[in-house]
């Protein structure tokens, strides 16, 4: 069973599916963005590889990252927690300490939720953010000659996860990238305040290539990517070399970095004027079958629908093999 097929069923079953599709829903009448993501034990995380404090942080951060992808101001979250009997009170205290800390860092309030029993730990977070930009954000807004900028690294989280799942040594920075990912909220707010025109934006929760290719398709424009410009933690390369892996697989196809990608015209880039973002590429011509061209200097690789379909990140049973 594939996530995409299920999402299609949902879209076809609902009378109004107009809100679905982006990282979060925009409620025009309220000026609010809403997102709702769940972390399930042995799918999104394993109690063998994370602690409850960081689990609480991550459950919130992945949702704040969705709000950041809409360049919105996070305000409130609800938390629905399901836990087996084996979990003790101290663990729940640690979980909520993590939730509390990351919320404080971004001035977000925990307003409710519920707690129930379950066989596996499950944390469902709904996050509400406020639209503070006077322009619009959509995956379909990439246009010819727009610059592609990113805040955050690519590949660190998936390399860290690979190490954790296969009991391999890696630098702490990679494990931390997976266990306690950063939501680029401050960078998103900076963009919301300084940009003055419609832009495309997305987080890399399902991988860098996923974000770029989905924007290319939604905008019907091809994309040129300068590989040498992509922020990559040198430890990703070191780890890959030590284990005979291709580090580009982590950089392009690994998920859960939660870096922030924005695609915008040069004047907007100038008014943004931020050191938090790196320019990694440029939008090419309009194209009904768009591709992402990865320029390695020596040669260029073309990513099209068939390649994307084969390699793209599947959120479905990620960490099952651990048990």
Residue ranges binding its own copies (CB under 8 A): 1, 3, 5-7, 9-10, 13-17, 19-20, 24-25, 27, 30, 32, 34-38, 40, 42-44, 75-76, 78-83, 85, 87-89, 92-93, 96-97, 99-100, 104, 109-120, 122, 124, 126, 128, 315-317, 320
Query: Given the complex with its own copies, which of 27 and 305 has the nearer CB atom?
Result: 27
Q: Closer CB to its own copies, residue 39 or residue 303?
A: 39
Closer CB to its own copies, 83 or 150, in the complex:
83
Q: How far apart are the first and last CA of the chain?
A: 20
Q: Which pairing describes strands 109-117 and 73-83: parallel, antiparallel, or unpaired?
A: parallel
Report the residue number, 178 or 248, with the smaller CB distance to its own copies: 178
> Between residues 138 and 190, which has the closer beta carbon with respect to its own copies?
138
Q: Give the DSSP H or E segment for 100.
A: helix 89-105
For residue 125, the minimal CB distance to its own copies (Å) is 9
Minimum CB distance to its own copies smaller for 178 or for 221? 178
Phi, psi dihedral angles at 96 (to 5 degrees): -75, -25
Closest approach, Cβ 77 to its own copies, in A, equals 9
Q: Please say which residue, 29 or 306, places its beta carbon nearer to its own copies.
A: 29
Tokens of 173: 């920075």
Tokens representing 248 are 């580009």
Residue 52 Cβ, how far from its own copies at the closest point, in Å? 11
Least Å distance, CB 184 to its own copies, is: 20
Q: Is 142 exposed, middle or buried (0-12, 13-18, 19+ CB in 10 A)?
A: buried
Other CB atoms within 10 Å distance of the CB of residue 184: 26
- Residue whose CB is less far from its own copies, 61 or 222: 61
Q: How far apart are CA 55 and CA 61, in angstroms?
A: 10
Q: What is the 3-state secondary structure (H, E, C) of 243-310?
A: CCCCHHHHHHHCCCCCCEEEEECHHHHHHHCCCCCEEEEEEEEECCCCCEEEECCCCEEEECHHHHHH
Q: Provide, rounded to whole angstroms, the least separation between the CB of residue 145 and its own copies.
A: 32
Give min distance, CB of 130 to its own copies, in A. Answer: 9
Minimum Å gap between C-beta 225 and its own copies is 27
Containing 92, the helix (H) or strand (E) segment is: helix 89-105
d(CA 249, CA 242): 15
| Contact in structure between 227 and 295 (CB atoms under 8 Å) | yes
Q: How far is the CB of 97 from its own copies (least distance, A)?
A: 6
Of residues 105 and 226, the one with the C-beta less far from its own copies: 105
d(CA 151, CA 274): 10
Q: What count of residues does the chain have?
A: 323
Identify whether the C-beta of residue 223 lies closer than 8 Å to the C-beta of residue 142.
Answer: yes
In the complex, least distance from residue 61 CB atom to its own copies, rounded to whole angstroms: 15
Residue of 214, 184, 183, 187 whose CA lies nearest to 200: 214
């Amino acid at each position: 069973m594939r996530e995409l097929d299920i999402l299609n069923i949902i879209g076809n079953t609902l009378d109004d599916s107009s809100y679905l599709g982006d990282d979060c829903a925009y409620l025009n009448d309220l000026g609010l963005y809403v997102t709702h993501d769940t972390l399930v034990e042995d799918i999104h995380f394993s109690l063998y590889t994370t602690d409850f404090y960081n689990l609480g942080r991550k459950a919130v951060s992945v949702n704040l990252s969705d709000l950041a992808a809409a360049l919105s101001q996070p305000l409130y979250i609800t938390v629905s927690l399901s836990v087996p009997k084996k979990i003790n009170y101290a663990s729940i205290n640690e979980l909520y300490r993590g939730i509390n800390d990351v919320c404080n860092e971004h001035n977000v309030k925990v307003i409710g939720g519920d707690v129930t029993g379950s066989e596996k730990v499950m944390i469902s977070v709904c996050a509400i953010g406020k639209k503070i930009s006077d322009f619009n954000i959509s995956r379909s807004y990439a246009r010819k000659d727009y610059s592609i900028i990113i805040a955050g690294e690519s590949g660190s989280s998936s390399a860290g996860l690979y190490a954790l799942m296969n009991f391999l040594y890696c630098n702490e920075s990679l494990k931390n990238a997976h266990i306690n990912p950063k939501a680029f909220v401050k960078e998103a707010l900076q963009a919301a305040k300084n940009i003055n025109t419609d832009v495309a934006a997305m987080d890399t929760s399902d991988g860098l290539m996923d974000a770029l290719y989905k924007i290319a398709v939604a905008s019907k424009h091809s994309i040129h990517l300068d590989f040498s410009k992509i922020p990559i933690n040198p430890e990703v390369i070191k780890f890959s070399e030590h284990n005979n892996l291709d580090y580009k697989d982590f950089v392009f196809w690994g998920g859960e970095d939660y870096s922030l990608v924005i695609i915008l015209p040069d004047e907007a880039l100038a008014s943004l004027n931020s050191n938090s973002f790196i320019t990694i590429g440029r939008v090419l011509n309009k194209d009904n079958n768009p591709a992402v061209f990865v320029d390695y200097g020596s040669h260029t690789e073309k990513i099209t629908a068939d390649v994307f379909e084969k390699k793209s990140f599947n959120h479905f049973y990620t960490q099952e093999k651990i048990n």
